[in-house]
Amino acid sequence: NAGVTQTPKFQVLKTGQSMTLQCAQDMNHNSMYWYRQDPGMGLRLIYYSASEGTTDKGEVPNGYNVSRLNKREFSLRLESAAPSQTSVYFCASRLRGFGYTFGSGTRLTVV
Amino acid sequence: AQSVTQLDSHVSVSEGTPVLLRCNYSSSYSPSLFWYVQHPNKGLQLLLKYTSAATLVKGINGFEAEFKKSETSFHLTKPSAHMSDAAEYFCVVSDQNRNAGNMLTFGGGTRLMVKP
């Protein structure tokens, strides 16, 4: 099915470990986004990529890096995980003029 | 700058009674407004969107929302709640004049509980 695919769905990390969250979309969308969701705070934008080859910081970029590998893929990396990064992460994509499509989320726990 | 305030963090209704989830926004430009729903352990699903056409917007599952510019509100309503409506709802604003893909700003969410 067409859409946004995120992997993994669940992950537990120890403080200081690194990992990469993968996101891929097969809808030929230009823009891709990473959000984190915390209780009572809605979704906050971490990084976005308006088009292939460009990335920009969002509202809460500290502690994260991203790579727009190609038009389909937009990965989020935690170099040294901290308990404050325990959250649910959503990847989304959008074709300009149309709506957003979200992935099903990655639940990350940092202990 | 744009912002979204969902006025209630929790709303509880009885099955068959009306639902009202309140949302106020601020935006420097002509906004697009959305309501998303998230069921437990699921991703986000678009309920409806307003993009400067009709001010009364109809969405899926019997929900609708009315854009009121004078009140900067975009409240979500449904005439009769169903048990399956129990979920968390997010009001979202997108600034149409921003560059780089029209980023979304989310409200804090309203958890809707439906009692039998």
Contacts of A58 in chain B (CB under 8 A): 103
Looking at residue A96, what is its pLDDT?
A: 67
Backbone torsion region of residue A108, taken as left when φ is above 0, otherwise alpha when ψ lies between -120 and 50, otherwise beta: beta
Closest chain B residue to the Cα of A50, Cα to Cα: B100
Of B42, B49, B109, the CB nearest to A99: B49
Which of A43, A48, A56 should we substitute to test contact with B (largest number of B Cβ atoms within 10 Å)? A43
pLDDT range class, residue B104, cuts 50, 70, 90: confident
Q: What percent of chain B has pLDDT over 70?
A: 91
Instruction: Look at residue B59 and tell me whether its pLDDT is greater than 90.
Output: yes
Confidence check: pLDDT of A70 > 60: yes
pLDDT reported for residue A41: 75
**Chain A to chain B, count of Cβ pairs less than 8 Å apart?**
55
Nearest CA-CA distance, residue B89 and chain A, Å: 10
pLDDT in tens, A27-68: 888 889 999 988 777 788 899 998 898 999 988 999 999 999
Encoded tokens for B10: 């929790």
Spell out which residues of chain B touch residue A74, defining contact as CB-CB under 8 Å. Answer: none
Arithmetic mean of pLDDT over chain A: 90
Per cent of chain A over pLDDT 90 is 66
How do residues B1-49 score in pLDDT, each as one tens digit? 678 899 999 999 999 999 999 999 987 777 888 999 988 767 788 899 8
Instruction: Look at chain B and count its residues.
Output: 116
- Stretch (H or E) spanning B49: strand B44-50
The strand pair at A10-13 and A106-110 is best described as parallel
The predicted pLDDT at position B95 comes to 67
Closest-CA residue of B relative to A29 is: B101
Of B49, B103, B107, the CB nearest to A45: B103
Binned at pLDDT 50, 70 and 90, residue B100 comes out as very low
Contact A90 B4 (CB under 8 A): no
Q: Do A41 and B108 touch (CB under 8 A)?
A: yes
Residues B61-89: what's their mean pLDDT? Answer: 95
pLDDT greater than 80 at residue B112? yes
Identify the CA nearest to A64 among candidates A30, A95, A33, A27. Answer: A33
Q: Which neighbouring-strand residues pair with B24?
A: B5, B73
pLDDT at B96: 56
pLDDT of residue A46: 93
Instruction: Supply the mean pLDDT for chain B.
Output: 87
